[in-house]
Structures are given as structure tokens and as C-alpha cells.
Chain A
Amino acid sequence: QKEVEQNSGPLSVPEGAIASLNCTYSDRGSQSFFWYRQYSGKSPELIMFIYSNGDKEDGRFTAQLNKASQYVSLLIRDSQPSDSATYLCAVKETFGTGTKLQVIP
């Protein structure tokens, strides 16, 4: 059974700091990886996807993929209180349980 593992948190960071969210997956043949953000009571929305090893940057967000280590991460630079949410890592249609991020003003 394919698995996607995340630390549930909460991860607390001060405003302006870098938040680092991590995810590991079990299926070595996986090709597509996603990070979704979910505010409390709302539906998940895509932040970034990544298909190739290395880094992919979009504004304050950077996704990192290491297929050899089966590891995906999301970095949020200059964290803002509005970034406080649960971040879901997904490998195709398999989701992790999410990491709750709290950005402290």
C-alpha cells in the first residue's frame, strides 16, 4: 500500500522566519508530487507541484524533491500569519495526514 508520511505538528514559527515542511513516500516509482494548503473548514488548494529532482521556486514557496531518498519538502520564506494552515503532501492521489503550521506574529 502506497504511503505518504508527514509530521502532524503543530509547527510553530515566528513571523518572517522560514517554515520547513517535510514529507516521505513509500512508492519508489512515484513521478508526481504536490503540496496543498488547507485552511480550517475549507477545501485543499494547490500550492505547488514538482516532478523532477531538485528545487522549484514560486514566490515565497520552494518545493524540494529527492527521489533517491523518497523525500519531498516545502519551504515557506518570510512566513506570514496568513500562512497558518494545514499543509498536505500528496503523491498523485495519495495524501499525507498533513502538517499544521502556526505562524506567530
Chain B
Amino acid sequence: DADVTQTPRNRITKTGKRIMLECSQTKGHDRMYWYRQDPGLGLRLIYYSFDVKDINKGEISDGYSVSRQAQAKFSLSLESAIPNQTALYFCATSDARVGETQYFGPGTRLLVL
């Protein structure tokens, strides 16, 4: 089984809808991250969490919210989706005890119509 999983893998939604992207990890890492990737813009950090009680905004947090339900689970919500949130979303984890290498999930491809 994959160490970092994301659900759903693909999602089509309509403008104004609320959606949630979920990330789970079995690596035992304390840190988790959400990124979006757009062509030509690379990976941009949305939110990150260093433990269950520590949530931080990244570069582009507007329009998004997160929840760290447990050490292994980190969810990203779009409260009211808009077309420019169409992107590829990645969850990642890292372990502060051994360095800052990030391990990525397979990604969720989101299309907002």
C-alpha cells in the first residue's frame, strides 16, 4: 500500500460547491502539507501542519481551509469552489526528526466548472 494516499484522485465540481480533499499517511510523519500545481507556476504551498495542534497558512491560503484530524490525516476544503481553483493538488509529509525531505501523495486532479 502507498505510504501517502489522496482521495479522490479526480474530481469535477461546479462553481460554488463545497468540496473536501483528503490525505492519509502511514509513514508516521509529524508534518503534512497541501500544495497546488498549475502549469508554469510550479508547486505552491496552501497550508501546512507541524502537528495536530499546529496549522499554518502557506503562500496561497485564500479560499481554502484545512483540518488535521489526527497525525495521519490532513484534509483540504474548498468552501465555495471557483474555476481558478482548477489544479492538481498534492499532499506531502515530512519527518522533522530526520530532515525535511517531503514525500508526496499521488495527487488529486480537480476541475471546477
Contacts and interface: CB of A to CB of B under 8 A. Distances in A.
A43 B90 contact: yes
Contacts of B74: none
Contacts of A43: 90, 104-107
Contacts of A1: 59
Given A43-B90, A43-B107, A97 B102 contact: no
A88 B44 CA distance: 12
Nearest to A46: B101
B99 A49 contact: yes
Given A44-B43, A98-B42, A32 B100 contact: yes
Contact of A97 (B41, B59, B105): B41
B42 A45 contact: no
Contacts of A90: 102
A34 B94 CA distance: 13
Interface in A46-103: 46, 49, 88, 90, 92-98
A12 interface: no
A8 interface: yes
A8 B102 CA distance: 22
Given A32-B100, A43-B90, A95 B43 contact: yes
Interface in B71-108: 90, 99-107
A95 B101 contact: no
B34 to A, nearest CB: 11
B2 to A, nearest CB: 10
Nearest to A43: B104
Contacts of B55: none
Nearest 3 Cβ contacts at the A-B interface = A97-B42, A43-B104, A95-B43
Contacts of A93: 33, 45, 48, 58, 100, 102
A94 B101 contact: no
B100 A92 contact: yes
